[in-house]
Structure 1
Amino acid sequence: MSAANRGVIYMGAGHVEVQPIPFPELALGNRKCEHGVILKVITTNICGSDQHMVRGRTTAPSGMVLGHEITGEVVECGRDVEFIGVGDVVSVPFNIACGRCRNCKEGQTGICLNVNPARPGAAYGYVDMGGWVGGQTEYVMVPYADFNLLKFPDRDIAMDKIRDLTLLSDIFPTGFHGCATAGVGPGSTVYIAGAGPVGLAAAVSAQLLGAACVIVGDMNPQRLDQAKSFGCETLDLRQDTPMPDMLEPILGAREVDSAVDAVGFEARCHGHNHAHEQPATVLNACMDVTRAGGQIGIPGLYVTEDPGAESQEAQHGNLSMRLGQGWAKSHSFHTGQCPVMKYHRQLMQAILFDKVNIADAVNVEVISLDDAPRGYADFDGGVAKKFVIDPHGSVAA
């Protein structure tokens, strides 16, 4: 089939545009992609990782089609696709995975060995992630469809809950992964650094995992209010008060069992100097407030090259991390992309059976494709929302 197509294009630092782009083909280079499908995009979300690129904080080239959080309807299948059919509504993990390599077979789909010639791991519409076309579009091609796609069991129910289900492509599993790798469990106390969408998704995940107390730290009052709206304690990190002193009135203790870094490499100093970047601040703070023997999950993004960093060291991904502190406290650290397929089916079930209201927690706002540039600008301004693009008006209908 063939039709018109449009997408959100990164034009350079601080600038995105919606432009016509080619309609996707079932092709990889010069060969037919018989294991792929073409999707009519139902929803595609703006992610904090996209924002890093749009701010000019990566080596992303202008002209990239953005977007790695995709939910869609199958409109065309390759010859070798057996278990996904035209008309199915599916969630697309942001990690592209072949299902055949050693890492995929071990469940490490975030570091597939066959989908990115530069290094392990690939994603749609993201710098250094294999050159795959992004999904902030009207139509997109997804390879290895039988392996990658999560089919929703009922179309009508899926559309009714699409504001929640759209978050399965990335931030809900990513937040959950941060908590799971930090050892969050029943009765535990957990500190979540960052009240952006991933941090809020991590906070909801901690509650789903049975945490007794979830504490979210940020410098944005609006985002802290959003965390309070579903029962989190909060720390306003604009204060000069040491973090253990802020924890003590909440917990009766100065440390938590687990911590999750949902901020990443654009971290800023705590206290009155919070306008100044200090990329290792969150990592060091997590070590300060996590008990000896505790675990720290790091789903926040760290990059190998950051041309916009304030220091020359940070421009090459070298951070002043107090590893000796973590070593002395026998901390465990877990980094890297979330292997979405490890969690997305279980989290889908939690949504379908009304065990979690993730869209409300992250404050989803549905916008049109043409409104995407405004969504990027508002998100960059710190608004406490998760922008979900509705390219065809499917959600509005």
Structure 2
Amino acid sequence: MALLVFGASVALKAVIPPQSAPPGVLVQEKSRLVDPATELLNANAVAVKAGLFIENLHSLSLRQRIFNAEGLYWLIWPQDIQRVMEAEEISPLQLVEITNQVNSSSTLIEPDTAAPVALSDGSFYQLFRFSTSLYISKIDLRRSPFQRLVLPVVLEIVPDAFSLSQKKVLLVADTGPGNSTIGADASINGFSIESTRYVSSLHSYGTTWGLNRGSLDYPRLSLEVVMRSDSFSSFVTWILPLLIVMLIVMLAPLLDGELGDLRLAIPSTALLTLIFLQQTYKAELPALNYLTFLDYLYAYSYIVSLVLFILFLWGNNVYSNANETSKPAAVLRIAGVDRLFQISSFVGFFVVGILAWMI
């Protein structure tokens, strides 16, 4: 019964389409991924090389969707970009910004040298050290607590003179030999670093800033640190307590049908325990418009505990209303229904777990 009820809710979720935005409300800000080599060729653009090295990662908060990062980034630009910067009085510090920083007042960005360094090929180089809090724009916690996080550090060209529709400038990752992206001490408790990757894109704000000059596309380069939660630690912390509570619930029907009061106390106590465990789990997550893997397990556990409470009420009434001669038969009848419940709820737990993982 519990599996049918829960399965129906999952089916309805899949059938009912998500609600769209109200008429007249448009989300115009957008980004599109680009292949730097193709874009440089097609748009006849000029490349500004950028690289990042993250020394420290810490203070991850999934609830607030922020983390702290310290490290360095560097820029390499050609002579024609330098001439425009000198004419427009644009300093190297003003050439790019970290766009996903949370609080600019607490952000520290310092150039390593007072002036850019001229390289042998005629280009210019500047190294910067940064320390800032960053926002996680995209987060997928559907398989939480076994989640996979992408922590981005996003650099974006700032001056309008260097937008793709003006000067045709692109940010290109400096991935030369020996250019590591992350330090040995960059780690976050409970997560392991799976990989790092550069992602180039063009960002359009969908506004002319009141100047009616046409929309501008600003080049972006993101260093994304892909992290995965520790499976064993997540299982012991979040899944194991739930399994222990549900094991007690599923073993409760083994109690003799004559012990009505004792049987009734088990599902109600289990419900309170499940609510406490889920609230502790949800306290670490942001508000989500979908259920996580663990939420589905809790929802099914609630249904099983409620059905068991109703089953025990029925069994208690059956035994109480039976006369002395028919009480043994009532106990056997209750035991048969109890076994059916145990088998169906046990199988249903694994079925719901598989379906929740696949959603």
Q: Which of 1 and 2 has higher RCO (CA within 8 Å, sep 6+)? A: 2
- Structure index of larger Rg: 2
**Could you say which structure has the higher helix fraction?**
2
TM superposition score category, shorter chain reference: under 0.3
Instruction: Provide TM-score, normalisation by structure 2.
Output: 0.22
